[in-house]
Structure 1
Amino acid sequence: MTVDIVWRTLPLSIKEVSLARVLRCGQTFRWKNMNNVWRFTTKDKIVLLRQDDTKIEYGCGGVINDQSGTLASSDAVLDAVLAFVTDYFNLAVKLEELYEEWGAVEKKYVKNSEMASFSFFPGIRMLRQDPWETVVLFICLSNNNVKRISKMCDSLCDEFGDFVCDFEGMPYHNFPGPEKLCDPSVEGRLRELGFGYRAKYIQQTAAMFMSPEYPDITLESLAALREESYDTAHEYLLQLVGVGPKVADCICLMALDKHDVVPVDTHVLQIAVRDYKFKKPKIMNAKSYHEVRVHLQNLFGEYAGWAQLVMFAADLVDLNNGVNQVDGAKIKHEVAVSEESEVQVSKSGKRTIVAKQTVKRIKVEA
Structure 2
Amino acid sequence: MALRDSPSSCPALWRWLRCPPAELRLDLVLASGQSFRWRQSSPGAWTGVLAERVWTLRQERGRLWYTVYGEDGPGPETDRILRDYFQLDVRLPALYRAWGAADPLFCRTAAAFPGVRVLRQDPAECLLTFICTSNNHVARITAMIERLCRAFGRRLCSLDQRPFHAFPSLAALAGSDAEAKLRALGFGYRARFVSGAAKAIAEGMGTAGLCRLRDAPYAEARRALCALPGVGDKVADCVCLMALDKAEAVPVDTHVWRIARQRYGAALGARSLTARVYQEIGDFFRELWGPYAGWAQAVLFCADLRKGRDGGSRARRGRSQASRGAGCS
TM-score interval, smaller chain = 0.7 to 0.9
One-letter code aligned to 2:285: L
Q: Which residue of 2 aligns with 1:170?
A: 162
SS at match of 2:213: helix
Q: Are residues 1:293 and 2:285 paired?
A: no
Distance of 1:2 and 1:257 partners within structure 2: 34
State percent identity of aligned pairs. Answer: 39
For residues 307-318 of structure 1, what are the structure 2 equivalents within 5 Å?
A: 307-317=296-306
Give 1 or 2: higher helix fraction. 2
1:272 aligns with one of 260, 278, 288:
260
Give 1 or 2: higher strand fraction. 1
Distance of 2:184 and 2:290 partners within structure 1: 44
- CA 1:91 to 1:2, structure 2 compared with 1: closer, same or farther past 3 Å? closer
1:57 aligns with one of 47, 59, 65:
65
Q: Give aligned pairs, total.
A: 305
Query: Is the Cα contact below 8 Å between 2:103 and 2:288 reproduced in 1?
Result: no
TM-score by length of 1: 0.78
Query: Is the Cα contact below 8 Å between 2:267 and 2:277 reproduced in 1?
Result: no
SS at match of 1:302: coil
Q: Which residue of 2 aligns with 1:304?
A: 293
Q: Which residue of 2 aligns with 1:89?
A: 86
Q: Which residue of 1 aligns with 2:320?
A: none
For residues 1-366 of structure 1, what are the structure 2 equivalents within 5 Å?
A: 6-35=13-42, 36-62=44-70, 66=71, 71-72=72-73, 77-107=74-104, 109=105, 116-211=108-203, 214=204, 217-283=205-271, 284-317=273-306
Query: Is the Cα contact below 8 Å between 1:30 and 1:153 reproduced in 2?
Result: yes
SS at match of 1:316: helix
Aligned-pair CA distance for 1:96 = 0.8
- CA 1:104 to 1:122, structure 2 compared with 1: closer, same or farther past 3 Å? same
What 5-or-longer segments of structure 2 have no aligned partner? 4-9, 315-329
SS at match of 1:252: helix
Aligned-pair CA distance for 1:265 = 2.3
- CA 1:43 to 1:301, structure 2 compared with 1: closer, same or farther past 3 Å? closer
Stretches of 4+ aligned residues off by more than 4 angstroms: 1-5, 317-320
Query: Is the Cα contact below 8 Å between 1:58 and 1:81 reproduced in 2?
Result: no
Aligned-pair CA distance for 1:39 = 1.7
What 5-or-longer segments of structure 1 have no aligned partner? 331-366
Aligned-pair CA distance for 1:168 = 3.6
Moved more, 20-29 or 260-269: 260-269
Query: Is the Cα contact below 8 Å between 2:157 and 2:165 reproduced in 1?
Result: yes
Distance of 2:41 and 2:229 partners within structure 1: 35
Aligned-pair CA distance for 1:82 = 0.9
Post-superposition Cα deviations, 1:318-357, rounded to whole Å, max 9, x if no partner, equal 766x7x99xxx98xxxxxxxxxxxxxxxxxxxxxxxxxxx
Please give the root-mean-square deviation of Cα atoms over the aligned residues, in Å. 2.4
Query: Is the Cα contact below 8 Å between 1:102 and 1:118 reproduced in 2?
Result: no
Aligned-pair CA distance for 1:290 = 1.3
Post-superposition Cα deviations, 1:246-294, rounded to whole Å, max 9, x if no partner, equal 1111110111000011111232122122222324133432222211111
- CA 1:90 to 1:2, structure 2 compared with 1: closer, same or farther past 3 Å? closer
